[in-house]
Amino acid sequence: MHLWKTVAIVGVGLIGGSIGLALRQRKLAQRVVGIGRRQETLDQARKLKAIHHGTTELADGVRDADLIIVCTPVNAIVDHVVACAAYSSGALVTDAGSTKSHIVQSLDEQLPRGVRFVGSHPLAGSEKTGPQHARADLFEGRVVVVTPTRRTARSDAQAIGQFWEALGARVVSMTPAAHDAAVAATSHTPHVVAAALAAATHTKDLPLVAGGWLDTTRIAGGDEELWRQILLDNRENTLAALERFQASLSDFRAALEAANGAKLKQLLGKGRKRREEASA
């Protein structure tokens, strides 16, 4: 039995495309409709079997949906959810944005009573974009944060949790504010650090980069417009997390300046242990 009749995905890129692929391969929805700006991308998603049908008309795409997932860039999510709510007839709506406080608060204020929205953030991004990089297993074993508020019906939060779990994800429930503070440290600051490291490397030194540099800078390959939006949206938390990183780096630098091997080893050991704790 299908969990959903018609699922509408607004924005069929890496995340939206992967949701569609997973829904279809796991036979979780009778019909998956993709909504996008460019017919070409929708045709590509249809050929990849991420969606059954694609349309550039939001109203058409969401009309019959019982579940809508908005997978557009952070700055577009609020408007898209508001439009989805206007055109759909009682669908449950979620998003996949990397930030939550502003999005969820705006929607709590703007959405008419009775519209059912629950914020989500699948921690499954990549430096790659577009449906051609979509994978049916993208969410398997990954964490998805769901951010209900006082306005959210418990049954809606549960349904959205079940949706992500059906795609193989592990669901964590948090407030939007707690989510944004945590991902500032675990995602947004690493992005800034990776980009700053790549940008600081002279072109003449690039022939000597190896696995270490390539790993450390991998996420710097991400789309700068998407990340501009994320970083500005979560600006204060990211600045606070950046400050903690800069203080940590200053400790390493001071130990190296003083040629204090014992202190340097202690700091390196702290980093190694924290790394091992995370991957355990």
215 vs 238: CA distance, rounded Å: 22
* Nearest to its own copies of 103, 219 (CB atom): 219
Task: Determine, following the binding rule CB under 8 A, whether residue 187 of this chain makes contact with its own copies.
Answer: yes
- The answer to whether the Cα torsion of 148, 30, 33, 60 is positive or negative is negative
Of residues 116 through 145, those in contact with its own copies by CB under 8 A are 123-126, 142-143, 145
The values of phi and psi at residue 73, to 5°, are: -60, 150
- The answer to whether residues 111 and 88 touch, using CB atoms and an 8 Å cutoff, is no
Instruction: Extract the tokens encoding 175.
Output: 């407030």
Task: Determine, following the binding rule CB under 8 A, whether residue 259 of this chain makes contact with its own copies.
Answer: yes
Instruction: Extract the tokens encoding 155.
Output: 């049954």
Strand partners, 144: 122, 171
Minimum Å distance from CB 280 to its own copies? 9
Part of the chain binding its own copies (CB under 8 A), chosen from 47-55, 146-154, 159-167, 204-212? 204-212
Of residues 229 through 248, those in contact with its own copies by CB under 8 A are 231-232, 235, 238-239, 241-242, 244-248
Of residues 73 through 102, those in contact with its own copies by CB under 8 A are none
Part of the chain binding its own copies (CB under 8 A), chosen from 3-11, 28-36, 147-155, 252-260? 252-260
For residues 174, 175, 177 and 181, what is the CA-based torsion angle, rounded to 10 degrees? -10
Q: Please select the residue that binds its own copies; options are 86, 153, 196, 240, rule is CB under 8 A.
A: 196
Of residues 13 through 32, those in contact with its own copies by CB under 8 A are none
* Nearest to its own copies of 71, 195 (CB atom): 195
- The answer to whether the Cα torsion of 184, 187, 188, 189 is positive or negative is positive
Strand partners, 33: 8, 53
Minimum Å distance from CB 200 to its own copies? 4
Minimum Å distance from CB 113 to its own copies? 32
